[in-house]
Chain A
């Protein structure tokens, strides 16, 4: 296929990569893990920037944040001892669900976030954990809450104006209850019908705080506010989980305009949400 590539660049620092983006606005294709198909290149692309040498592979925590470098692969996240303990291991578990072994070794968290697809698993987890995406335009660093970053108009800025460098998850979430599950043909099948993440905090058997996020059903990962309201302040028991599940189905039916094509997904998403709520809050 015809392409207009003039250069392949291999920046070795964040500053160098960000400079490249700002110098050739809209003409740079950033590649890292390389799970993007190489033959579908826009004719606008003149420079391919392979950022895999940029040192952004850290997974560490300080008093305020858990920090995950944008170039961490799914395999590295799955095997991280820190992520295995964080929020009941929900990030590591989600990374382990991703596609197949070579994709888990090649694909990066940054690519999963900035090339948004409804079926990508990690944006739903980060949205549930109140995470922020840290990016730079070469001059200054900017933080985007996940609720913001998943909007298409913001997402378009990544790879053209901003270089994603890190995902930060608030430290308070370390001890939160969490669970995730997905309905798909196989455990790691990328094309799930529904994907659900529930995180939250409870005290004396009651739900203090909760996030219910659905992926795959809608164009982007979305919090289910009405289902969350069903749980807040309630005893963490099966009847609350059933109520949350019904609320998820009703909310999704509204959000998908009762589309017949999505009717099945809305139903199963409610059942999935109920199961994940039970798993997240069980002792």
Chain B
């Protein structure tokens, strides 16, 4: 699905038709003109995109939009038209978790779990760009994800462990 030339989308009776590539599949959606991407994804069953502050502050709704960490609560659903969205559901599953998810479990980084989908995706964006980050780089990459259970130590360890796992896997 090409991103360029997304054209003009007409709103009829307050609604418009968009196509978003969600987790590798083109999904056609009818959305409200003012709908945000967070509510749209959750309505489609992607409940791993959490609704926290709804204000761009907490990072629980973090998704990867064309590979970049983005906050779904701040975007119109229509802004994702013709673009690629990755949610936690597209990264791994209970049967086949992604190495970052495995590392988070092994590091004891998951407590209540509410912030973890956003953190894992933030970690993926970091490790895609920098496979061997140091601790300050990890802390910086996670600085938009609030966790009220922990002191972030275990999540930072989880990302560093994931980096080692991914490097070992690619060698």
Contact = CB atoms under 8 A, between A and B. Distances in A.
A39 B34 contact: yes
Contact of A101 (B5, B9, B81, B122): B122
Contacts, number: 97
A144 interface: no
Nearest to A41: B34
Contacts of B3: 53
Contacts of A105: 68-70, 125
B70 to A, nearest CB: 5
Given A8-B9, A9-B8, A38 B56 contact: no
B11 A7 contact: yes
B144 interface: yes
Interface in A167-219: 188
Contact of A7 (B10, B62, B69): B10
A238 B9 CA distance: 60
Q: How large is the interface on A (under 10, 10 to 19, 20 to 34, 35 or more residues)?
A: 20 to 34
Interface stretch (A28-36, A56-64, A158-166): A28-36
B153 interface: no
A46 to B, nearest CB: 9
Contacts of A8: 8-9, 11, 16, 33, 76, 78-79, 81
B23 to A, nearest CB: 19
Contacts of A139: none
A38 B9 contact: no
Interface in A47-73: 48, 50, 52-53
B71 interface: yes
Interface of A: 1, 3, 5-10, 12, 31, 34-39, 41, 48, 50, 52-53, 99-103, 105-106, 188
6 contacts: A34-B79, A37-B55, A37-B56, A38-B36, A100-B143, A101-B141
Give me the 10 closest cross-chain CB pairs, A-B, nearest first. A100-B144, A10-B6, A5-B33, A8-B9, A8-B78, A3-B34, A101-B144, A102-B69, A102-B144, A34-B75
Given A5-B34, A10-B6, 16 more contacts: A7-B8, A7-B9, A7-B11, A8-B16, A8-B81, A10-B81, A31-B76, A34-B76, A34-B79, A38-B75, A50-B78, A53-B6, A101-B144, A102-B59, A102-B70, A188-B143
